[in-house]
Amino acid sequence: MSGERKPLSIRDLLLPALGAVLLLLGAGSGAVVERGQLDYSAQMKRHGGDVLDLGANGRPDASLQGYMVRVAGPVQVVEAPLDPQFNQQTDQPVLIRHVQMFQWRELHYGDTPTYELDWQDHPVDSAHYPQGHANPDKFPLEGAQFDASLVRLNDFVLAPALVHALIGSEPVKPDLRRLPGNLAASFSLYDDGLVTSPVPSHPQVGDLRVTWEAVPAQTVTIVARVEGNKLLPAIDATDGIGFAVQPGDVPLSVIFPDSPLQPEYPWPRRLLAVLLAGLGAALLLRWHYRRVDPILAPAIAVLVIGAVNAVLWLGNGNSTAAVWFALAVVGAALAFWRARVLRVDA
The rounded distance, in Å, linking the Cα atoms of 250 and 155 is: 19
The rounded distance, in Å, linking the Cα atoms of 135 and 66 is: 53
- At residue 4, the pLDDT reads 55
Predicted model pTM: 0.73
Question: If we measure between CA atoms, which residue out of 200, 247, 255 comes closest to residue 223?
Answer: 255
Indicate if the pLDDT at residue 240 is higher than 80. Answer: yes
The amino acid at 269? R
pLDDT band at 131 (very low <50, low <70, confident <90, very high): very high
| Pairing outcome for strands 230-232 and 156-158 | parallel
The dihedral region occupied by 165, where left means phi > 0, alpha psi between -120 and 50, and beta the remainder, is: alpha
- At residue 7, the pLDDT reads 64
Provide the 10 A C-beta neighbour count for residue 115.
Answer: 13
The rounded distance, in Å, linking the Cα atoms of 122 and 124 is: 6
- At residue 1, the pLDDT reads 46
Taking CA 34 as the corner, what is the angle to CA 31 and CA 35, rounded to the nearest 5 degrees?
80
- At residue 5, the pLDDT reads 53
80 with 87: CB under 8 angstroms?
Answer: no
Indicate if the pLDDT at residue 3 is higher than 60. Answer: no
Task: Supply the mean pLDDT for the chain.
Answer: 91
Residues 198-228 pLDDT 10s: 999 999 999 999 999 999 999 999 999 999 9
The rounded distance, in Å, linking the Cα atoms of 145 and 262 is: 37
217 with 75: CB under 8 angstroms?
Answer: yes
- At residue 164, the pLDDT reads 97
Task: Please compute the mean of the pLDDT values over residues 246-253 and round it to a whole number.
Answer: 93
Residues 163-192 pLDDT 10s: 999 999 999 999 999 999 999 999 999 999
Half-sphere exposure of 84 (CA within 13 A, CB side): 2
170 with 213: CB under 8 angstroms?
Answer: yes
